[in-house]
Amino acid sequence: MDDQSDGRQGNGRNLKLPVPGKRNILITSALPYVNNIPHLGTIIGCVLSADVFARYCRLRGYNAVYICGTDEYGTATETKAREENCTPQQICDKYYAIHKEVYDWFDICFDEFGRTSTPQQTEVCQSIFKKLMENGWLTENTMQQLFCETCNRFLADRLVEGSCPVLDCNNDSARGDQCDKCGKLLNPTELKDPRCKICQARPCIRDTDHLFLELPLLKDKLEEYISDISVAGSWSQNAIQTTYAWLKEGLKSRCITRDLKWGVPVPHEKFKDKVFYVWFDAPIGYISITSCYTPDWEKWWKNPEDVELYQFMGKDNVPFHTVKVFSSHVMFPSTLIGTGEKWTLMKSISVTEYLMYEAGKFSKSKGTGIFGNDVQDTNIPVEVWRYYLLTNRPEVSDTLFTWTDLQAKLNTELLNNLGNFINRVLSFIAKPQGLGYGSIIPDASGAESHSLTKRFAERIGICVDQYIEAMEKVKLKQALKIAMSISSEGNAYLQESQFWKLYKQDQASCSLVVKTSAGLVYLLACLLEPFMPSFSLKVLKELNLPPENQFSLRVENGDLEKAKKPWEILPAGHKIGTPDPLFKELKDEEVEAFRKKFSGSQAERVAKGEAEARKLAEQLEQTKV
């Protein structure tokens, strides 16, 4: 039984609960919205980054759980359901399955990947609401909203279109919340010539009553929390800047209810026909999904003494989780603080900027960029995609995805550096006796007196310490760069030792170099496992080692110290498997084909594919005639 588990079963697995005295880490990533297919910007912005950190925590022996799921309520789901002529629940079921398939392909290892359209979400959300109501943090207020008399409903922001009120913009398709042409944030009542997106009728303005969270009253408690935890949690600079920018602007009362049907019902007689605004209930999904993972969810979420909460998200999500955001969005910590209960509040927040696609921005609504289902059609292995996205992780500023950059990283860094080192070492060991070691790890001694190996081990030890320091601070891109530098050190060590000459001239020294290098291969599989788990499995197979006995970075079992003496990692006499090339070159013509194939929007690509299929069918029909 896993020593981090309480031993109870859930869905055929051991459930992990916090263990006093251990380091207990609760990891969440922003819940991806369910009305579309996730693109690469979504994947690197939240789920992949959190997966890397969760895998690292497991390597260190920390008691960590990774919680995520799809955000399923709100206007966008209702709109998508109308577009596809089905119910919101059917839309959620369809896209939840698509999201799950994409994340499975990317080797994202959740402890629980749930969804927000569950009874547990309703229960937790309503419970938190009632506490806020009891504590006097909620007020009633009347606001003006567009009402469509034809549809007999109030119109949410995204159900309204009209002309942008900004002078000289001239966009007649601005949404009720934002104009995509000039970028102006809007209220629906500001639009000129508004029209209902459902029936195109002109709506009128009516009064409607809503509930508001009084953020100004929570300001002191919130600022105290942020000033303490942003330092203790080593928040990234962009998270700190974004948060304090919103605080400086000033907190305002925020509406937490909406005139919709698809959402968590408000448990209040006067507002029983309304639902909670999606950005009130969505972050609560972290808690409700945890409650689906274990009935003892409060041991994770109401245990600030024993649990550290790490959250991962893109910069557009930061205000939801720290302060506030445009229009009438609210924030997660304020909601929890307002209940007066002892919640596990966020310790560390890791934020990414935007990943741009060649000529512009990834966009789910416009269908531009590379999407999760696209990558499976490229025949480029998942470890390459993960590596590329993580080396390009936009930690400080927006970064650009280009096919030529992907090609360069694969061919230069993965193939010529990492793959070359591993293949050189294992291929030499696999050669028959007289030319190599007959696939057997040789015995070796005298490492401390072998100056080249001793200096090499010292450099590796420094790199391992730097890798751990970077990972502890959630500097993922820096840690990956350090791990790859170890491979470069290995190549330099092989060259300087001239092991192919030593084999004939100094067998003892050659055996030491080879045993040390083989240990480094295993160490690289360990350090790179959080970033490229499928690559690590391939290396373990070539080393003929079972995945369950994977090397770790735990202090208590001595693995961390052994990492700094790579000649001690693999035992003499161990028989390795069959070495095979780990990476395949990406050629210029393939890159050009990908650029052409994935240009334009997804809709345009589908239409083009359908047209080509019709043309081919016509040609076949003519051939038959």
Distance CA 548, CA 550 (A): 5
Could you tell me where in the chain the CATH 1.10.730.10 domains are found?
A: 419-575
Task: List pLDDT tens digits, range 82-108.
Answer: 889 999 999 999 999 999 999 999 999
Instruction: Give per-residue pLDDT as tens, 70-81.
Output: 999 988 898 889
Chain centre distance of CA 290: 17
Region 419-575: CATH code: 1.10.730.10
pLDDT for res 254? 84
Closest to 464 (Cα-Cα) out of 441, 486, 493, 435: 486
pLDDT of residue 596: 87
The hierarchical CATH code for the domain 24-136+213-361 is 3.40.50.620
Report the percent of the chain where pLDDT is more than 70: 88
Q: Spell out, as residue ranges, where the chain has pLDDT lower than 70.
A: 1-13, 236, 238-239, 246, 315-330, 359-367, 549, 600-625
pLDDT at 5: 42
* Residue-level pLDDT at 333: 87
Residues of the chain with CATH 3.40.50.620: 24-136+213-361
Closest CA to 357 of 371, 346, 377: 371
pLDDT of residue 3: 41
- Cα 266 to chain center, whole Å? 31
Bridge-based pairing of strands 138-148 and 204-213 is antiparallel
pLDDT at 325: 35
Secondary structure (DSSP) of 560-611: HHHTTSGGGTS-TTPBP-----S--PPPHHHHHHHHHHT-SBHHHHHHHHHH
Spatial CB neighbours of 18, under 8 Å, sequence gap ≥ 6: 24, 63, 299, 300, 303, 306, 307
Sequence-distant (≥ 6) Cβ neighbours of residue 159 within 8 angstroms: 75, 79, 148, 176, 196, 197, 198
Terminal CA-CA length for the chain: 68
Taking a C-beta distance cutoff of 8 angstroms, is the pair 444, 508 a contact?
A: yes
Q: What is the pLDDT of residue 329?
A: 31
Which pTM value belongs to this model? 0.89
Task: Please name the residues in contact with 371: beta carbons below 8 A apart, sequence gap of 6 or more.
Answer: 37, 38, 39, 40, 602
